[in-house]
Amino acid sequence: MTPASLLAEIGPVAERLYDRHMAAAKEWFPHEMVPWGRGRDFESGRPWGASDADMGDGVAPLPEAVRLSLYLNLLTEDNLPYYTRDVNALFAGGGGAYDAWARNWTAEEGRHSIVIRDWLMVTRATDPVELERGRMSQVRGAQVPAPEDLYEGLAYLSMQELATRIAHRNTGKLIDDPAGQAIMLRVGNDENLHYIFYRDLAAAALEVAPSEMVLGIERAVRTFAMPGTGIPDFDRIAREVARAGIYDLAIHHDQILEPVVMRHWKVADLTGLSDEAERAREALLGRLARVAKVARRLSSERVGA
């Protein structure tokens, strides 16, 4: 089945999912979540130091791994123009609910960078010069994960939105400031609704194009990378985030691969697959087993360290 045929076939499902999303999504305002009273002017040219942070009375400073996670999360959100470009390309020709979804998704995602940046600037929790230079580098580079086709794209977006929700929420849990906690929870709630839309759209695609979708899921799992790979010093930051338990391989396996690929999409139970798709499923199941083994070993090493 061609991507255009698939979009047409599951179009009615996309419409229902879009309507469901719009009914569930709650209006919220970034400016109401930011503790503006803590703000003060920045002096031009004055270097930032960790002692500049104003997290509020009795609130602990951000641990370095949490500061790095916020930096990573925000620069990822800043790359929205290129994600929008790719989502539009993914759904090209679908029209209707697909176009409406892409526009609404972009509008909702735009709030995330606004509210996170405003909170970071008011609290001075991170170096604003480093942050702006990182944003410029990230957006100039325009580097985003690029799924090969619609089938891989639906699988990737499902996993990526869930991964982002988890990363935002786990970051928020490590912030001592109630305002920061609330912001990361609110952003994570948006990401959860986005995940559910893509997850259920992918499930509908599995019903009508199981072989093509299994091939796409296998590629998405094999090549999965968190958005933000173009961020300066990404590998080091990702390692620090993993050490802090915000997002690591064990979380990726236990909270994404197992619940989505195995339990929701039920890839192991699909029937009527082509020979190529059967081989891809076998490779996929083998990969999941290896990821589980490695994740357990890394978790054990971290606990024993």
Over residues 194-220, the mean pLDDT reads: 97
Residue 42 located in a structural domain: no
Q: Which domain holds residue 249?
A: 3-23+60-304
Q: Which residues of 16-29 are buried (b: 16+ CB within 10 A; e: fewer)?
A: ebbeebeeeeeeee
Residue 209 located in a structural domain: yes
Point out the least confidently predicted range of 90-104, 176-190, 291-305.
291-305
Residue 43 located in a structural domain: no
Where residue 271 sits, what CATH number does that domain have?
A: 1.10.620.20
Residue 284 located in a structural domain: yes
Residue 204 located in a structural domain: yes
Point out the least confidently predicted range of 56-60, 209-213, 214-218, 247-251.
56-60
In this predicted structure, what is the pLDDT of residue 215?
A: 98
Average pLDDT, the chain: 92
Q: Residue 303's pLDDT band (boundaries 50, 70, 90)? A: low
Q: Which residue has the higher pLDDT, 299 or 28?
A: 28
Percent of the chain at pLDDT > 70 equals 98
- Give the model confidence (pLDDT) of 120-179 as tens digits: 999 999 999 999 999 999 999 888 888 999 999 999 999 999 999 999 999 999 999 999
In this predicted structure, what is the pLDDT of residue 79?
A: 92
Q: Residue 54's pLDDT band (boundaries 50, 70, 90)? A: confident
In this predicted structure, what is the pLDDT of residue 225?
A: 82
Measured distance CA(65)–CA(222) in Å, rounded: 27
Residue 53 located in a structural domain: no
Structural domains of the chain, count: 1
Q: Which residue has the higher pLDDT, 235 or 155?
A: 155
Task: List CB contacts of 116: < 8 A, sequence separation 6 or more.
Answer: 70, 73, 74, 77, 183, 184, 187
Residue 28 located in a structural domain: no
pLDDT higher than threshold 80 for residue 23: yes
User: The tokens of 212 are what?
Assistant: 């093509």
In this predicted structure, what is the pLDDT of residue 264?
A: 96
